[in-house]
Amino acid sequence: MTEFVYKPYDKIYVRDTVKLTLDDLIGMMSSLESANAYWVDGVLFASFAMTESEELAKKEMQNEMYLDKIVFAVNEKYSKTVKSTTNLEIGVLNMQKSKLYQDLIQWLKTQPVWSE
């Protein structure tokens, strides 16, 4: 039988964090092919990986990941969709049970951008 091993990343490098208004986040996400955002602990967000390369693939094999940016907005309550004041609507995936995303949001809330 195949052996499965759970091994989370050792490090995730984030190049940029951007706090948006809820309307701006919805507008941005609605223009993308995959118009879903994630929700954890009162934060609606999306993360964007860097362009794939051989060097980044090697880093992944070494248990490291590089994210180009994380965009987020405060949104206290989870709902399956969220609508802007201009009636744009996107889907929301509840990722509250993901340890990785819980850690990400906990870290994000300690960053200077959180208080902007």
Output the pTM of the full model.
0.88
CB atoms within 10 A of CB 25: 24
Tell me if 16 is assigned to some domain: yes
Question: pLDDT for 52-84, tens place per residue?
Answer: 778 877 877 788 888 999 999 999 999 999 999
Tell me if 104 is assigned to some domain: yes
Phi, psi of 46 (to 5 degrees): -145, 145
CA pair distance 63, 7, nearest whole angstrom: 8
Tell me if 96 is assigned to some domain: yes
- Cα-Cα-Cα-Cα torsion 53, 38, 14, 20, nearest 10 degrees, comes to 120
pLDDT at residue 27, rounded to an integer? 93
Tell me if 2 is assigned to some domain: no
Tell me if 5 is assigned to some domain: no
Domain that holds residue 23: 12-115
- How many domains, the chain? 1
pLDDT above 80 (res 50): no
Tell me if 3 is assigned to some domain: no
DSSP assignment of 3-51: -------SEEEES-EEE--HHHHHHHHHTSSS-EEEEETTEEEEEEEPP
